[in-house]
Amino acid sequence: MQTQKHECIRQISAILEQNKPYVYKTITGNKTFVLFAADTFRRQGYEVCIDIQPTQFSQTSLTVIIHPLKTTIEFTLRRDDDIQNIISKIQHAQYTTVSIRACGTVIRSLFAILDWSLHNGWYIDNTLMSTLTQHVDNTKQRNTTLHITIKKG
Task: State pLDDT tens for residues 81-93.
Answer: 999 999 999 998 8
- Which backbone phi and psi does 5 adopt, to 5 degrees? -60, -45
Residue range 11-34, pLDDT digits in tens: 999 999 999 999 999 998 788 999
Return the pLDDT at 79: 95
Residues 48-72 have a mean pLDDT of: 94
pLDDT band at 2 (very low <50, low <70, confident <90, very high): low
Q: pLDDT > 70: what percent of the chain? A: 99
Name the superfamily (CATH) of residues 72-152: Alba-like domain (3.30.110.20)
Mean of pLDDT over the chain: 93
**Residues 126 and 148: beta-carbon distance below 8 Å:** yes
Instruction: Say if 2-69 and 72-152 have the same CATH topology.
Output: yes
Q: Domain locations in the chain?
A: 2-69, 72-152
- Which backbone phi and psi does 107 adopt, to 5 degrees? -55, -30
- How many angstroms separate the CA atoms of 58 and 68, rounded? 32
pLDDT band at 131 (very low <50, low <70, confident <90, very high): very high
- Cβ neighbours of 37 (radius 10 Å): 25
- How many angstroms separate the CA atoms of 81 and 76, rounded? 9
Return the pLDDT at 143: 87
2-69 folds as Translation Initiation Factor IF3 (3.30.110)
